[in-house]
A and B are shown apart, each in its own frame.
Chain A
Amino acid sequence: MNRGTTTAGESRRRSFDFAGAAFLVAAALLLPACAPAGPTPPQPPAAASSPAATSSPAATADGATSPPAPPATTAPAASPEAAAPVVPVRPATPPAAAPQEPAPTSLTVAGTSIDFPVVPGGVSDEGAMEIPDAFDLAAWYRFGPAPGATAGTAVIAGHIDTKSDNAPFSQLKSLAAGTAIRVGRDGAPALNYRVVKVELMAKDSFDGEALFRRSGPHELKVVTCGGRWLDERMDYSDNVIVTAVLE
């Protein structure tokens, strides 16, 4: 295993080092945090991590259609002679539904056993991305861009472990640049991506705005857990984030 990474199994064995940690040990065995895979995953207590995203000023994009952001110039109050801006006027009817990108249906990573169905996932009551409990199923963040979108990141996430073993997603951290990732889509041709980087992002400084961005260049982000297993949190220290771009 790579230095600096910890598989679930190692973590659990390590746990026995702590006298009096039996409860946590048992919990680790029964409740693999970050990856509860099983029919009735119990819910461990909330960890003191990952507060909701940001306190950055609210976007003020306005209007039924996406307008360009106002230029960030600091022009002084314009003189009446300046070119008059135009104000869009439209019927105050409901906006037309935005065309939906086809949803991803499968994820295959070359050279690994990752070959999963992908299902849409939303947000849990606690504000986390929802991922199915099964270890062989990945979730696509359905409120963000889809694979093949013109802008922003398509996020597909899965569990790194099962109750008893590493899940295929534990192979993500070892992917080499250039590895092929194929995303099957609902009613549309599959897309081929290439890995450009694999990184760890500490859960303590989780940057959701960057991971789940909705503008900027399109990328595929394949995410699981990684880093060190933290007994006191019942969770891993990091997220493993694979970034891939369309071929």
Chain B
Amino acid sequence: MRNTIFTAGAGAAAIAAAIALAGPAQAAEGDAQLSVLHGVPGLTVDVWVNGERTLDDFTPGTLAGPLALPAGAYDLAITASDAADASAAVIGPVSVTLAANGNYTAVANLDAAGKPTANLFTNNVSQIEAGKGKLTVRHTAAAPAVDVLAGGTAVISNLANPNEQTLTLDPGTIPAAVAAAGTTAPVIGPADVTVAEGTHTIVYAWGSLTDKNLQLAVQTIEGLHSAPGSVPGALDGSAKTAAVEPAAIALGFGAIAIALLFGGMGAARALGGLRKQR
């Protein structure tokens, strides 16, 4: 049951599909990375970049890319599939500017009122602190503002189309649900969303509340991990402040006792001499 809320329409054939792209032949240093998500239900389209057909027969719920593009401005247009050119766009044309080394997802989706539109999201591909993962939720559905619930508790509140919100989390699987803002009755899910360490998982709510086809799409950006800052990373006092107080007191007594002991024995000098011999 849970799987059904995810985009499943594309089928296995699409997994292996690779579409020729009228773009630069080779990725170059500094290229931007562009992914494209189709989030308009019931519409098979072609995607045009600068007047060139880039994605042919692109179906709802599929994610294309990433495509390496030199930094610069691009015109994106979406037409009915098999359009002869980009002149009769159903979405766009929109002009987008891609920065060098930027990472973007262009989404064809419905706005809150149900009209097809396009949004360009900038994906955060900065390194994630060791041991954590990131989860971003993007509202790209024809629906009012929503809350995102994890195990019944709102972790993101009042998220409206076309906004996004990002959480940094411990890795794990979250039973996530989407509900109208301020409520807890799911309109999507609950569905298991896995947040992996060092990975930015981006979840899109798409479809239409009215048409009862709200669902989730998932994009992951891996390889954002960073290494622990030390081994074995001793000296982690800050996190356990409560425990430090009594320990510090005990330590104080210990220190006094030892100082007395060694002071009385004159051991400090003797051992100091030992050290110098080394």
Q: Interface of A with B (CB < 8 Å)? A: 13-14, 16-17, 19, 22-23, 25-27, 29-31, 33-36, 40, 42-47, 49-54, 56-64, 66-67, 70-80, 82-95, 97, 122-131, 139, 141, 143, 155, 157-159, 203, 206, 208-209, 211-212, 214, 223-225, 233-235, 239
Complex-state Cα separation, A224 to B232, whole angstroms:
7
Which one of A14, A42, A74, A88 contacts B243 once the chains associate, using CB atoms below 8 Å? A42
A residues less than 8 Å from B17 (CB atoms): 88-90
A residues less than 8 Å from B61 (CB atoms): 91-92
State which residues 156-210 of B face A: CB under 8 Å: 171, 192-194, 197-198, 204
Expressed in whole angstroms, the minimum distance between the Cβ of B43 and any Cβ of chain A is: 15
Complex-state Cα separation, A50 to B132, whole angstroms:
18
Contact B227 A212 (CB under 8 A): yes
Contact B271 A16 (CB under 8 A): yes
Contact B224 A75 (CB under 8 A): no
Known: A42-B247, A45-B237. A54 touches B65 (CB 8 A): no
B151 at interface by CB-CB < 8 Å = no
Contact B129 A14 (CB under 8 A): no
Complex-state Cα separation, A79 to B272, whole angstroms:
75
Known: A29-B254, A97-B194. A126 touches B229 (CB 8 A): yes
Contact B233 A93 (CB under 8 A): no
Expressed in whole angstroms, the minimum distance between the Cβ of B109 and any Cβ of chain A is: 12
Main secondary structure of the interface of A (DSSP, over half): loop
State which residues 115-147 of B face A: CB under 8 Å: 123, 125-127, 129-132
B residues less than 8 Å from A126 (CB atoms): 229, 233, 235-236, 238-239
Q: How large is the interface on B (under 10, 10 to 19, 20 to 34, 35 or more residues)?
A: 35 or more
B residues less than 8 Å from A79 (CB atoms): 25
Expressed in whole angstroms, the minimum distance between the Cβ of A107 and any Cβ of chain B is: 15
A residues less than 8 Å from B229 (CB atoms): 50-53, 126-128, 206, 208
Complex-state Cα separation, A16 to B269, whole angstroms:
8
B residues less than 8 Å from A123 (CB atoms): 129-132, 228
Number of A-B residue pairs having CB atoms within 8 Å of each other in the complex: 337
Known: A27-B255, A85-B26, A92-B218. A239 touches B231 (CB 8 A): yes
Known: A78-B24, A90-B15. A33 touches B247 (CB 8 A): no
Most chain A CB neighbours (cut-off 10 Å) among B10, B222, B244: B222
B67 at interface by CB-CB < 8 Å = yes
Which one of B23, B101, B221, B244 contacts A84 once the chains associate, using CB atoms below 8 Å? B23
Contact B28 A75 (CB under 8 A): yes
Contact A66 B67 (CB under 8 A): no
Expressed in whole angstroms, the minimum distance between the Cβ of B61 and any Cβ of chain A is: 6
Contact A211 B63 (CB under 8 A): no
A residues less than 8 Å from B252 (CB atoms): 23
Contact A127 B233 (CB under 8 A): yes
Expressed in whole angstroms, the minimum distance between the Cβ of A133 and any Cβ of chain B is: 10
Complex-state Cα separation, A37 to B229, whole angstroms:
21
Known: A89-B19, A143-B198. A58 touches B125 (CB 8 A): yes
Which residue of chain A lies nearest to B253 when distances are taken between CB atoms in the complex?
A26
Complex-state Cα separation, A97 to B259, whole angstroms:
57
